[in-house]
Each structure stands twice: as C-alpha cells, then as structure tokens.
Structure 1
Amino acid sequence: MAESLRMTIAVLGNVAAVSLYAAPTVTFKRVIRKKSTEEFSCIPYIVALMNCLLFTWYGLPVVSNKWENFPLVTVNGAGILFELSYVLIYFWFSSPKGKVKVAMTAIPVLIVFCVIAILSSFAFHDHRHRKLLVGGVGLGVSIAMYSSPLVAMKKVIQTKSVEFMPLPLSLCSFLASSLWLTYGLLIRDIFVAGPSVIGTPLGILQLVLHCKYRTRRETEENNKVDPHKGNIEKVDLEMGHGKECVSS
C-alpha cells in the first residue's frame, strides 16, 4: 500500500514537473520566430539545467542505493532535454556578445557538475557520503532555481497585474513542488523534499497573488462604464425627470 502510494505521487509529480519544464516552449517559439532573444535572460535555464543534471545523477545507482530514486531520473532526465534545448536555442539566436555570456555561464556550470560527478564516483566509497555531496549541492541549486519566481511576483505586485505570471505556470509549479515534497517525506529523503520546502510556499503565494489581482482586475473592468452607454442612461434620466416635472 505504501509503495503504491509513493509510486502514484511520483508519477503525478513527474507529470506536473514535465509540464513545468515544457512551459517555456512558448517563449522560445517566439525567440525562433523573431530570431532574437530580446530581453530574455538565459541564466534561469542554465540553473535549471544544472539542477536537472545533479538530481538525475543523484537518482542513478552510482549515488543512490540501486534504483530507489528512479522517479528522479525520469523527471530530471526529461528536464535535461528541455533545458538544454532552451540554452542551445538561446545561444543560436543571441548576439555575439550574448553568445559569450551564455558560454561564460554554462561552461563553468558544466565543469562544476563534472567535478561533483567524478568526486562522488571515486572520492567516496559509500552511498551515504555520495548522497551528502550531490544532494547538498543539488539542494543549493534548487533553492536558487525556486527563488527565480520572486522576480515575477515582484512585478505582479508593482503592476497589480498577473499578465507576467501565467496561471498554468503557477499551478504547475505549486503541484510539482507539493507532490515532490510529499514524495520526499514518504521516502524520508531531505534532499528530495528540501527544495520543495521553499517551492511549495512560493507556489501558494503565486496562486494567492493570482486570486488577489485577477479579482481586482475583473472588478475594475466591471466598474468601467461604456461612455456611449453612460450618455444614453444620462439622457434617459433627464427625460424621465422632465416627464415628472410636466406631470406635476
């Protein structure tokens, strides 16, 4: 029963997380169509790529005990494909200066991952210490990745508009975080649950902002009076008032 519950949550977490990874495809379709990266930054995608690499490695039998963390391999393996595609598209369509920036950010990140993979494979000879190394670094990178929506939330509060924070993205973020938090607690793995300790409250906060500012926007739109309609109503009132005066 417990094993079935863990697998069900893992599958749902995979679906929600892959949906979250796939969300930026809309942005990159625009980049391809316009052949320009405009004002978009590549850093969030490089950080996400590093996160996926680390947790894919964490879930493999080299670090984990056999295939105990296989769901991590599937979801983060898909994440690697998505994030690597985004980085490559960004690199291809960026300016020469932008290409240098991407390279100077991505190459050190890949070197750090390779160093961690080599150390965890040869410097440590038991799964516990390998998990501490890879999971500890992965936890730090995940915190950085989950903190990125703070920029969007700040913009929502400043503009009082949820235009810059799509509801499907916020919903997928909340579902993925809460499901992986539950899964991490069930398997008693702090490195799996840890990132979602931050991701889940941030997801809830995004949904709260949606409720607050979407409701406000709808109220403001409903309170707007059509000028033409307003004039007609004004004439009707004046005519009605005139009729009352005549009849009196």
Structure 2
Amino acid sequence: MGGTSLERFLPIAFGILGNIISFVVYLAPVPTILKIYQNKSAEGYSSLSYNLSLFSCLIWVYYAHLKPNSGLLISINAIGCLILTCYITIYLVFATRKDRIFTIQVFVALNLVTFIGILFLTLLLFSGTNRLTVLGWICVGFSISVYAAPMSTIRRVVRTRSVEFMPVNVLVCLTLSAAVWFGYGVFTKDAFISIPCLLGVFFGIGQIVVYVIYKRKGNAVEPAEPEHIVEVAEPAPAQAAEAQVAAEGSDHEDGEGGAQEPAAAAEHITKIAEHVAQIAEHIVKLAEITPMSPTQEERKAAAEEGEGSAVETVVPENVINIPASEMNGRDE
C-alpha cells in the first residue's frame, strides 16, 4: 500500500512542481521584453525561440488531450500558449521590417499550417495508441528543438566574447524545468516526456558553462592591470562596442537581424561556395602566372635538356635567327 501511494504521489508532486517552474520559465523572458519595450526596438533579439516554444505548447496540449490523466500537462501548456502569444505580439510591434516579416512567416508556417496539418493527418491516418505514439515522437522532436534553440546564441558569445545577448535566467529556468519534467516522465513511465527532458538538462548545463566561462573572461581583465595601464588599454569599452556592432550588423552576418537562424545556414553555404570559387580563381591565376617566370622555365629546361638548352629557351626565337650583319647594323 505504501509503495502504491508513493507511486501515485510522485507523479502528482513532480507535475505540480513542473507547472510552477514552467510558469517561471514562461515569465523569464519578461526582462528581455521590457528592454525591447523601453528601447522601442527588437534589434539584436530573436523571436525564433518564442515561435518554437509556442508550437511545442500546441503539440503538447494536443498530446495531453489524447492521453488520459494528463491534466497537469494541459494546464501549463495552455498557459504557455497565451504568454508566448503575448511575447510574439510585442516583438512584432517593435521589430524591424525584415524581422517582422520573418516572424510572421515562421508563425504562419509553424503554428498554423504545420500544426493544423499534423492535427488532420494524425486524426485521419492513425487511431488509438498509434496516433498517440506518432504524436509523441513529434513532441520529442520539437521539445528538443526548444531546448536547443538558445544554443544559437553561443556562436555570438564566442565571436563577440560578450554574454550580453545570452539570457542566463532563461537557461537556468529551462534546465530546472527539464530536470523536473524528466522526473515526471520517469514516474509516469512516459518516454516521450523523459527523453527530450533528459537532453534538455544536458543542453542547459552546457550553455550555462559557456556563460560562466565568458562572464569570467569579461570581468577578469580589468582588475588584473595596473592603474596607469588601464587608462590606455581598457578592454571593456571595446567589448561593448564589438557586441553592439555584432547586434547592429546581424542583418549581414546572422541572417535577418539575428532572427533568421534557419536562413543563416543557407547563407553560410552560399558564402562557402563563394569562397571556394574565389580560391579556385586564385589558383587559376597562379597557374597562368607561374609558367611566365624565366626562373621556372630555366629550371624545367635544365632538368630535361641541360643547362645550355635552358638558356636558349629563354631567348626568343626571332632574336636567335637574326643575321650577324643585321645585328652589326643595329649596333651602329
């Protein structure tokens, strides 16, 4: 009896705790949203994670609706849908035209077309446990994408050596939430919940480690220098300026103002192809220039015919065939 009571209590306890932490996760971006509102600009920030999270909430609501005794899943994901929709709306108000267009495209393609497509396909093609299994694997895939979405900022952190755009509060909350929901999945024997949450714990810890490393690097430079050197080579303004330039120039480096992370992959492939073409062009030019060098010709001729013939190959043929009398006339 005691074991049975504990088995019933643990899923409820982890589910309630997961609801509380997940609610905090949904509120974690509030400082970012407030900063966007105060600056009247969303430049340097991405809405991709909000769209992915919204889609994940929609899918989990559908999954929990099909699975019995999943009221705790329905409640928190329904709240998440409402909060994330508010975030996306505020982002759209203050985003640039490119970011706004991209955000709307992702929202329509992911949260409307894709979700409705999954809804109809699973209802028409599957039934019973098969429908739940297919939907469960879809939930696994997009839950992993939500946990991995903030990893896109690691590239910017490494490049700029600044953690300004790395939301550590969101990372900590996501990691704690993943750990709690992993326990919920284990005690409810639901692998579709435990698998992505376990990966979410690993993703979160990795990103927090990166934050700590670069946070220490940014803070450890200034006090280590003597006072008369700090005035000349203080690195803090340079790092701040570099981070600001990276945010302002993200339209050229990161796709659509930091919001087009998927499009950035295609852009990088195009850039790689351009670099390869440039390298090939340089190789062709070098190949055209190299045979014109007399030293190269002499060495090649010396290896094949001897040093005497090498000198002859350098002298143009029309000079060799000029008669001696004509040469004397030219000298005079």
Q: Report the TM-score range of the alignment, normalised by the length of the smaller protein.
A: 0.7 to 0.9
Greater Rg by CA: 2
**Shift in alpha-carbon separation, 1:214–1:97, aligned structure 2, 3 A:** closer
Report the alpha carbon displacement of residue 192 of structure 1 after superposing the two structures with TM: 0.9
Which deviates more, 142-151 or 216-225?
216-225
Q: Equivalents in 2 of 1:102, 1:23: separation in Å? A: 20
Q: Counterparts in 2 of 1:150-169, with a 5 A limit?
A: 150-169=151-170
SS of equivalent to 2:127 = coil
TM-superposed deviation, 1:103:
2.5
What's the secondary structure of 2:198's corresponding residue? helix
Identity %: 27
Counterpart in the other structure of 2:93: 92
Partner of 1:165: helix, strand, or coil? coil
- Out of 110, 113, 116, the residue aligned to residue 114 of structure 1 is 116
Q: Within 1, Cα distance between the matches of 2:198 and 2:154?
A: 18
* Helix, strand or coil at the partner of 1:223: coil
> Which residue, 63, 66, 81 being the options, matches 1:58?
63
The amino acid across from 1:101 in the alignment is F
CA distance change for structure 1 residues 58 and 32 in 2, over 3 Å: closer, same or farther? Answer: same
SS in structure 1 opposite 2:44? Answer: coil
The answer for the alignment partner of 1:72 in structure 2 is 73
The one-letter amino acid of 2:155's match is K
Matched, 1:9 2:11: no
Q: State the SS of the aligned residue for 2:42.
A: coil
Question: How far apart, CA to CA, are the structure 1 residues paired with 2:107 and 2:153?
Answer: 23
Instruction: Write the distance in 1 (CA, Å) between the matches of 2:220 and 2:79.
Output: 41
Residues in 2 aligned to 1:74 and 1:93: alpha-carbon distance in whole angstroms: 30
Does the aligned pair in 1 maintain the 2:10–2:187 contact within 8 Å? no
Residue type at the aligned position of 1:180: W
Question: For the structure 1 residues 94 and 155, does the alpha-carbon distance in structure 2 shift closer, same or farther, using more than 3 Å as the test?
Answer: closer
Output the amino acid matched with 2:117.
Answer: V
* 1:40 aligned counterpart, secondary structure: coil
Q: Report the equivalent of 1:212.
A: 213
**Uncovered stretches (5+) of structure 1, i.e. residues with no partner:** 229-248
Q: Secondary structure at the match of 1:198?
A: helix
Evaluate the alpha carbon distance shift between residue 112 and residue 16 of structure 1 in structure 2; reply closer, same or farther with a 3 A threshold.
same
The count of aligned residue pairs is 225
Residues 15-41 of structure 1: CA deviation (Å, up to 9, x unaligned): 222222212222222222333322322
* Structure-2 change in CA distance of 1:42 and 1:170 (3 Å): closer
* Aligned mates of 1:72, 1:52 — CA distance in 2: 9
So what's the TM-score if we normalise by structure 2?
Answer: 0.60
- With 43-52 and 12-21 compared, the bigger mean Cα shift is at 12-21
Give the letter aligned to residue 109 of structure 2. P
> TM-score with structure 1 length normalisation?
0.79
Query: Would the aligned equivalents of 2:168 and 2:211 in 1 still touch at CA under 8 Å?
Result: yes
State the shift of 1:49 in Å: 0.7
Output the CA distance in 2 between the equivalents of 1:155 and 1:19: 26
Residue 142 of structure 2 corresponds to 141
Counterparts in 2 of 1:99 and 1:213: CA distance versus 1, 3 Å: closer
1:92-150 per-residue CA deviation (whole Å, 9 max, x = no partner) reads 33344444322222112112111222333454331x11212222222211222221122
Deviation at 1:91, TM superposition (A): 2.3
1:107 counterpart letter in structure 2: V
Aligned equivalent of 1:240: none
1:164-216 CA deviation, whole Å, 9 max, x = no partner? 33443222121111111121122121211122122110111123334434444
Corresponding residue for residue 126 of structure 2:
124
8 Å contact kept, 2:151–2:207:
no
User: Partner letter of residue 183 of structure 2?
Assistant: T
Seen in structure 2, the aligned counterparts of structure 1 residues 193 and 86 have a Cα distance that, compared at 3 Å, is: same
The 1:216–1:131 alpha-carbon spacing in structure 2 relative to 1, beyond 3 Å, is same
Distance 1:15 1:98 in 2: 32
Aligned in 2, Cα 1:12/1:39: closer, same or farther, shift over 3 Å? same
- Structure 2 unaligned regions, length at least 5: 1-5, 230-332
Q: Distance in 1 between matches of 2:41 and 2:212?
A: 34
2:52 is the alignment partner of 1:47 = yes
* Corresponding residue SS for 2:84: helix
Shift of 1:88: 1.7
Q: Distance in 1 between matches of 2:212 and 2:100?
A: 39
Q: What is the letter of the counterpart of residue 116 of structure 2?
A: C
Equivalent-residue separation in structure 2 for 1:85 and 1:97 (angstroms) = 20
Range with greater deviation from structure 2 (29-38 or 78-87): 29-38
